[in-house]
A and B are shown apart, each in its own frame.
Chain A
């Protein structure tokens, strides 16, 4: 086990060759693990909202659109090739089942759609996905292999 980088909410970390990057308890948020197997370069982004609405907001990793675009830019700068990059995504749960009309809506679902749209626009393939349902997920990526591990409460570990 090498070093482990921790990604907070609305944050992104990248690393190369060894170690893991982890983000804890994704609820309606989505974790996107991007990986270039040739140079063993990976990134993990933790977004919480589908689109950047407020131009003045400087926290770009909060949003699927601006967060992913900035991550692509960084990965390319570190030598990643768009044609080799693949994505694995997890999260987007609906933690509370609200009866009747709720202004909360299904933010997790909207997050997942936005993430997939931005990835498709960039031409990056979604290799594996574990989204939706009603429980939180802890997600980590192994930079040596690109393997993604999903931990949840009361369910077996999942390898993506």
Chain B
């Protein structure tokens, strides 16, 4: 079995393609929910040590909102949807007619609006992949946290910690309307799932 570290450029390209299909579908779903144009950027696939992975997203102490969904079945791992303040406001304005100045103002109603959009985005992302690879993936009920970036990323880091010192992140970005509001959606599969996925898509060289 291949570990994250052994993946070659072609395999990383396949994951970029998977991410691209997933995020495209998710952007369409988000656009329908919000009633506004949502576009996406070409996803990035990166393999980094824990500390580098956190630094590539922001400061470890930076506060973000995150929606986490666990995947099980043919792919095991985590989907993480991370939102910064401007992106949260773009969603809240359209769904619950609210504006917040900082993260401490996220109340129950706002949190459930974020959870619901997270749920829709993640399900449509995973649906696209399961159709493509003809596999089955179960999703957990989403859970929301508003806290330090480093603490939030400690969840996937600890989950995969026994098998790897690195995180494979398939990161996608949404842009809402004409303004550049960034929301990140990360697919974090475990090593076994990665190998299974490669085999299913016919790119495994073993």
A residues neighboring B (CB under 8 Å): 8-10, 24-29, 48-49, 53-54, 57, 59, 62, 93, 95-100, 102-104, 107, 134-138, 151, 153-154
Contacts of B150 in A (CB 8 A): 24-27, 136
Give Cα A154 to B105, complex, Å.
Answer: 11
Give Cα A57 to B163, complex, Å.
Answer: 9
Contacts of A53 in B (CB 8 A): 162
- The answer, among A10, A54, A104, for a CB contact under 8 Å with B155, is A104
Shortest distance from the beta carbon of A20 to any chain B beta carbon, whole Å: 15
Known: A59-B165, A103-B72, A104-B70. A96 touches B145 (CB 8 A): yes
Say what secondary structure dominates the interface of chain A. loop
Identify the 10 closest CB pairs spanning chains A and B, nearest first. Answer: A136-B151, A25-B150, A27-B151, A27-B154, A136-B148, A24-B60, A25-B148, A96-B143, A25-B60, A8-B51
Known: A27-B150, A93-B151, A96-B68. A154 touches B104 (CB 8 A): yes
A28 touches B63 (CB 8 A): no
- The answer, among A29, A102, A138, A153, for a CB contact under 8 Å with B154, is A29
Contacts of B76 in A (CB 8 A): 103
B46 at the interface (CB under 8 A from A): no
Contacts of B154 in A (CB 8 A): 9, 25-29, 48, 95, 136
In chain B, positions 150-185 with a C-beta closer than 8 Å to chain A are: 150-155, 157-159, 161-163, 165
A100 touches B141 (CB 8 A): yes
B23 at the interface (CB under 8 A from A): no
A102 touches B70 (CB 8 A): yes
- The answer, among B50, B140, B161, for a CB contact under 8 Å with A100, is B140
The 29 sampled A-B contact pairs (Cβ below 8 Å) are A9-B157, A10-B50, A25-B60, A25-B148, A25-B151, A25-B154, A26-B151, A27-B151, A27-B152, A27-B158, A28-B158, A29-B158, A49-B161, A59-B165, A62-B165, A95-B147, A95-B152, A95-B155, A96-B68, A96-B143, A96-B144, A98-B68, A98-B141, A102-B140, A103-B76, A107-B158, A136-B150, A138-B61, A153-B63
Give Cα A95 to B61, complex, Å.
Answer: 14
Give Cα A114 to B154, complex, Å.
Answer: 17
Contacts of B149 in A (CB 8 A): 25
* Listed residue (A26, A57, A138, A153) with the most chain B CB atoms within 10 angstroms of its CB: A153
Shortest distance from the beta carbon of A102 to any chain B beta carbon, whole Å: 6
Shortest distance from the beta carbon of A105 to any chain B beta carbon, whole Å: 10
Binary A-proximity of B30-51 (CB < 8 A = 1, otherwise 0)? 0000000000000000000011
- Please name the residue on chain B nearest to A134 by beta carbon: B145
Binary A-proximity of B134-147 (CB < 8 A = 1, otherwise 0)? 00000011011111
